[in-house]
Amino acid sequence: MRRTSAAGALAKGLAPAELLKRYHRRTRRRVPWLQTLALALLLPLLSLVSRVRIAGREHIPDGGYIAAANHCSTLDALFVALAIRRRIRFMGKSELFNGRWGWLLNRLGAFPVQRGVWDTDAFETAATVLRRGRVMSIFPEGGVHAERVPAKSGVGHIAHLAGATVLPLYLDGTRSLYTPWRWPKVRVVIGVPLHVEEHAQPSREESGRTAQRILDAIYDLAEPGVHAVAEVRADG
């Protein structure tokens, strides 16, 4: 039986819910080959338009882990990839996947998450990615924010589901790229990994506490010489 691509399925009028599930299945099974090409083209460009300084690369672990960072700019995921030098998987709002752009985004490493609901499909996809030794890039604060906001509980939930290692990264200066004709300094600080205890059914309260600890570890890196070292357990 011939398999239909996601783009072809959309053209044939496949229901959005089934289309989103197809993107999840593909993310769990395949490598985002197009991301490799995109990063090869974009990362050298980033180094040209900004002065990037990366500290703490010695803390980067092997295998699968969550790369968790603050989120000041729409370009932050590129700086995470530049710092860790690995292909990353990341979540995007499900509305982006209902059109033909979804096919491209999925092959660039993105998969859909439904905002405003407890999206178990997205959480299980992220946990599967981690169990297979891959890297998930997650911004605990959710969307882009100029100032610190409380963490969303999703990152804690995913970390407990997979028993994941979490690598905190603090990004400074990425928002300056919004101003044209500048050559801004961008600083990426990588902290000591946190190890989160596996828990098949963490409560939202447990997940929320873990997410906040992860965010605290990120912002601890804003102070020179300070690194986050913690053992996060499901019982809080």
pLDDT in tens, 113-127: 998 889 999 999 999
Tell me the β-bridge partners of 89.
136
Residue 101 confidence (pLDDT) above 90: no
pLDDT at 230: 36
pLDDT of residue 116: 83
Whether 1 shows a pLDDT value over 60: the answer reads no
- Position 2 pLDDT exceeds 60: no
> Average pLDDT of the chain?
87
Pick the closest to residue 57 from 85, 77, 32, 38 (CA basis).
85
pLDDT exceeding 90 applies to what percent of the chain? 67
CA distance 159 to 198: 7
Token pair 């801004």: residue: 184
Going from the C-alpha of 41 to that of each of 34, 38, 47, 83, 170, the distances in angstroms are: 11, 5, 11, 16, 24
Q: CB atoms < 10 A from the CB of 2, how many?
A: 4
Query: Among residues 96, 87, 82, 18, which one has the least CA distance to residue 50?
Result: 82
Q: Tell me the pTM.
A: 0.85
Residue 190 is predicted with a pLDDT of 98
Contact 24, 121 (CB under 8 A): yes
Phi/psi at 171 (nearest 5 deg)? -105, 130
- How far is 22 from 156, CA to CA, in rounded Å? 25
H or E stretch covering 188: strand 185-190
pLDDT digits (tens, 9 = 90+) for 182-211: 888 999 999 999 999 999 999 999 999 999
Q: CB of 231 within 8 A of CB of 195?
A: yes
CATH class of 15-232: alpha beta
Residue 10, pLDDT above cutoff 80: no
Per-residue DSSP letter, 57? G
Report helix, strand or coil for 33: helix
Q: Which is more confident, 120 or 233?
A: 120
Amino acid at 63: G
Residue-level length of the chain = 236
Q: pLDDT band for position 14 (50/70/90)?
A: low
What average pLDDT does the segment 93-122 reach? 90
* Ramachandran area for residue 116 (φ above 0: left; ψ -120 to 50: alpha; else beta): left
74, two tokens = 């729409």
- pLDDT of 226 higher than 50: no
- Choose between 17 and 64: higher pLDDT: 64
What 8-state DSSP symbol labels residue 106? H
